[in-house]
Amino acid sequence: MGDAHIVPEDKEFQARLSRFLVSLPGLYDHLFVMGDLFEFWFGFKNYSYEEEYGPVLEAFRFLASEGIQIVYLEGNHDFSMGPIFIRELGAWVYPDAHSFQVEGMRWFVTHGDLVAAEGLRYGTYRRLIRNPLTYGLIRLLGPKRTLKLAWKLGDMSHRVYHTPEAYDATKYTTFVKKKFAAGYDAVIMGHTHRAGVITYHVGDKERFYVNCGDVKRAETYVTYHPDRGFEVQKGLEPLA
């Protein structure tokens, strides 16, 4: 799940998402967060984000205590996840893409924002945001000043970089097929806010392009079960 772009004012949604999350133990053993769950997150050393995202963080703590492994693929709005996720929650955090071996399948998992970035201003924007000099400036500004700036820059980012060109389906299809040719059985992404599971037949095998969609506006996410495969789910009612 991912791409909720949660802001502090989303109290009702945070409560709804939290009730859903705490219903997962006993049904699933891993939770993959595909990036941009938060509108902004930078892992400051001594800042808890309780004021902004308290209900969701409490739900994550419950999941960790129940033995669910949280896997976080950083997005373009949440990065350098820091001590809360890595040390407190024991999450596996990946700044970009990562490969997983699951039930004999090779999964290529990434947020997906760089797939269609070639030739766009966005590529330059992301390199500017995700580099050590910028991280140092963010730490110098501190959490409160950074957050004020982040809300303003977030609005600009949505207007300028969340465009049809940035979600060019042709580029995503080309990217997925290259990964299949490299031996991956499934390519799993977010970013486009468009949920789906597309099956490709490559030789004598089925391969899958999976997108988890938007867990806030569309309330979509994707589940995986060895017997049923990948399935798009809709709605955030507690599962148990």
Question: pLDDT per residue over 84-123, tens digit each?
Answer: 999 999 999 999 899 999 999 999 999 998 887 655 566 6
pLDDT at 30 over 70: yes
Q: Tell me the pLDDT band of 169, cut-offs 50, 70 and 90.
A: confident
Name the region of 130 (left: φ>0; alpha: ψ -120 to 50; beta: rest). Answer: beta
Which residues fall within 8 angstroms of residue 12, CB to CB, at 6 or more apart?
Answer: none
Give the Cα separation of 95 and 111 in Å (integer).
Answer: 9
Give the Cα separation of 161 and 167 in Å (integer).
Answer: 10
Q: Which pLDDT score is estimated for 79?
A: 84
Structure tokens at 51: 């004021």
Mean pLDDT calculated for residue range 17-33: 97
Nearest alpha-carbon partner for 156 in 106, 130, 116, 121: 121
Contact 27, 239 (CB under 8 A): yes
Name the region of 25 (left: φ>0; alpha: ψ -120 to 50; beta: rest). Answer: beta
Which residues fall within 8 angstroms of residue 147, CB to CB, at 6 or more apart?
Answer: 40, 52
Based on the number of CB atoms within 10 Å of its own CB, is 48 exposed (0-12), middle (13-18) or buried (19 or more)? middle
Within a 13 Å sphere around the CA of 166, how many CA atoms are in the beta-carbon half?
Answer: 22
What class is the 11-234 domain? alpha beta
Q: Out of 61-75, 134-148, 173-187, pick the least confident.
A: 134-148
Give the Cα separation of 16 and 56 in Å (integer).
Answer: 9
**In angstroms, how far apart are the furthest CA atoms of the chain?**
55
Within a 13 Å sphere around the CA of 198, how many CA atoms are in the beta-carbon half?
Answer: 15
